[in-house]
Amino acid sequence: MELRMSGSKRKSSGDVAGTAKKRHAITMETKVKIIERVERGEKMVDVAHSYNLNRSTIGSIVKNKDKIMEHVKSAMPMTSTIITKKRGKVMEEMEKLLSVWMQDQRQRRVPLSLMLIQEKAKSLYEDLKKKHGEESEGKSFNASRSWVHRFKARAKLHNVKVSDKAASTDTIAAREFPETLREIIDEGAYLPEQVFNVDETGLYWKRMPDRSYISKEEKLMPGYKASKDRLTLLFGGNASGDMKLKPLLVYHSENPRALKNIAKGSLPVVWKSNPKAWVTQAIFQDWFFHHFIPEVEKYCLEKDVPFNILLLLDNAPGHPPFMDDFHPNVKVVHLPLNTTALIQPMDQGVIATFKKYYLRHTFRQAVKASDESGTTLRQFWKDYNIYKAIKNIDFAWSEVTAVTMNGVWKNLCPKFVHDFRGFEKMDEESKEVFSNLVTLSEKLELDLQEDDFIELLAVQHEELTNEDLMELEAQRKDEEGQEEEEATEEPKRFTTQEMARGFALFEEALLVFEAQDPNVERYTKVAAAVQNAIQCYRVIYDEKKRATTQTSLDRFYKRVDRIKSSKEPEPVPSTSGVSEIATCPPSPTADDPSALPSPTSSSSSSQ
């Protein structure tokens, strides 16, 4: 009878759940907004919560992005049937790639002119016509001024400013702003320890000089080129030079294979992802509140200086415009437009120095692998993945000295610079790094000169070519499929059963050494050191065991309460029976290391 009642209750609750999960139609407008929020860097879980939808629903919408956007475009008056049939595929792909290119230009603070956009659009259109063959041949495409405006509206690029002619570096503003900044510093009584600057940069983390045989061979291979794989880094520090922030890294894949089962929080960088590997406003805001503020507050406490910060930023699209309202202890000042190359501290040598160190360390690793294990450069480069790149990024960032971090403020805030010979030292270090790279390349039989490395570092600032844009889009689609497949894989976690097995293996290993070591004192010290080293795991194990035991008891008592609250005229069970069941100790299981036979007991019992 009790079972029938429980079944009845479950059925009733199921009916309620079924009513709650009634499906609702999602409008195309809502779907477009969802896609935009995910592309800005928001997590699918957060977007799903805001719309009261399942995460899987959001994933399906993003997966079908192309079909949704195509449907939206087809409903607009400006797209006729003839155009859709004859060149719809080429136009759609061209506009998608052009949008990526324009946003990439913005990320790198490159001013966009109408003529520049028109030329890029026509160039992409012609290349895509060749790619798709004769079937895509149609009328010529002129990329008129009116088309550019319609394209901006379709692609929702309202914030992208387009001028009639290209802008140039504003030397007058760069010359006048340091005086404005000096007044702000004096008024706020800021110390050099309290004045910070951060800036983003792109890094082709797996790229060799063009004259190397690795680069030449890769160009002949079909498909996406690893050398085109780019990530974005945000570096920053204060004017005194003694505080370097933990780098923010934005990659186009949230869970690359190389980071499988690795906790992102344990990395030496702040790991974030975005389909285009850009620092979006959502990512920057998250970094500001959860990383910049805690790091700087801790630093001020250690240095015994007031937590009163002045943060200098350029006008990158990823920087929220109203940041001055974000935190009462942080004043944000934006540098004048088109002055980054002349006065922004991180751009006066910090980023360039980091990239040289990164390249040198990578080459040193290749030489070391060749010397120690005979690994060829081809094999080393094939095995070089994003995880290894992250470790090299950390090493290179640690090599950037306090003298360099302080010296780069010379143009913007000279009164904070300790040693004006900092730039001379940077030049000397630069020559030394290039000399090291040439020597390392000789050991790898690459026969490269200093100019080859200078050219490679300059490539980091070049715009995306048509080929780059096509390959990046192909790679993005490929990775979407891979991440769908890997989404079901469980992350690393402790289980009491596996931990118990691990402890037993430690005991077994110690017994092996004890049986061979004639020095009892030495063995005792080693055994004590091992037990001390794994004590942190025993703490975790004990906590999990307590939680498991408590959960089991909670379930048992809930079951008893349910039986007692039954309204059926069933015989009331004896309280002594319940008491006996409740106080009965759990039977030994393999989940409990104390219940497992130790190597000592098992060996003695076998004897």
> Quick one: tokens of 236?
């920053």
Dist CA 595 CA 356 (whole Å): 57
β-pair partners for 330: 309
Please tell me the CATH superfamily of domain 171-462, with its number: Ribonuclease H-like superfamily/Ribonuclease H (3.30.420.10)
Higher pLDDT, 117 or 604: 117
Among 135, 136, 42, CA closest to 91: 136
pLDDT of amino acid 139:
62
Angle between helices 520-533 and 535-564 (to 10 degrees): 50
pLDDT of amino acid 353:
93
pLDDT of amino acid 471:
67
Task: Check whether 572 has a pLDDT greater than 50.
Answer: no
> Quick one: tokens of 219?
């160009």
Contacts of residue 132, defined as CB under 8 A and 6 or more positions apart, other chains included, come to 89, 90
Cβ contact 460:204 at 8 Å: yes
Cβ contact 347:199 at 8 Å: yes
> Which residue in this structure is represented by tokens 């690893």?
226
Dist CA 575 CA 130 (whole Å): 85
Task: State what percent of residues in the chain have pLDDT above 90.
Answer: 34
Tens of pLDDT, residue by residue over 263-272, are: 999 999 999 9
DSSP structure class, residue 456: H
Least confident of 131-135, 180-184, 490-494, 558-562: 558-562
Task: Check whether 318 has a pLDDT greater than 60.
Answer: yes
pLDDT of amino acid 63:
86
Higher pLDDT, 292 or 134: 292
Dist CA 23 CA 103 (whole Å): 37
Among 482, 527, 481, CA closest to 508: 527
Burial of 84 per CB tally in 10 Å (0-12, 13-18, 19+): middle
Mean pLDDT across the stretch 331-355?
92
Mean pLDDT across the stretch 225-248?
90
pLDDT of amino acid 169:
63
Among 315, 307, 350, 348, CA closest to 331: 307
Among 265, 393, 413, 420, CA closest to 343: 413
- Cα 95 to chain center, whole Å? 27
Dist CA 398 CA 326 (whole Å): 29
Least confident of 20-29, 113-122, 229-238, 312-321: 20-29
Task: State what percent of residues in the chain have pLDDT above 70.
Answer: 70
**Helix spans in 460-571 (H):** 466-486, 496-516, 520-533, 535-564
Number of continuous H segments (helices) and E segments (strands) in the chain: 25, 8
Cβ contact 497:544 at 8 Å: no
- Backbone angles phi and psi of 510, in degrees to 5: -65, -40
Task: Check whether 41 has a pLDDT greater than 60.
Answer: yes
Domain boundaries along the sequence of the chain: 171-462, 496-566+581-606
Q: What is the pTM (predicted TM-score) of this model?
A: 0.59
> Which residue in this structure is represented by tokens 């630069």?
430
- Backbone angles phi and psi of 508, in degrees to 5: -65, -40
- Backbone angles phi and psi of 327, in degrees to 5: -145, 135
Tens of pLDDT, residue by residue over 138-151, are: 567 888 888 888 88
pLDDT of amino acid 307:
97
- Cα 535 to chain center, whole Å? 33
Least confident of 44-48, 114-118, 393-397, 472-476: 472-476
Contacts of residue 34, defined as CB under 8 A and 6 or more positions apart, other chains included, come to 47, 51, 58, 61, 62
Mean pLDDT across the stretch 55-66?
87
Q: What is the average pLDDT score of the chain? A: 78
Q: How confident is the model at residue 81 (pLDDT cuts 50, 70, 90)?
A: very low
Task: Check whether 1 has a pLDDT greater than 90.
Answer: no
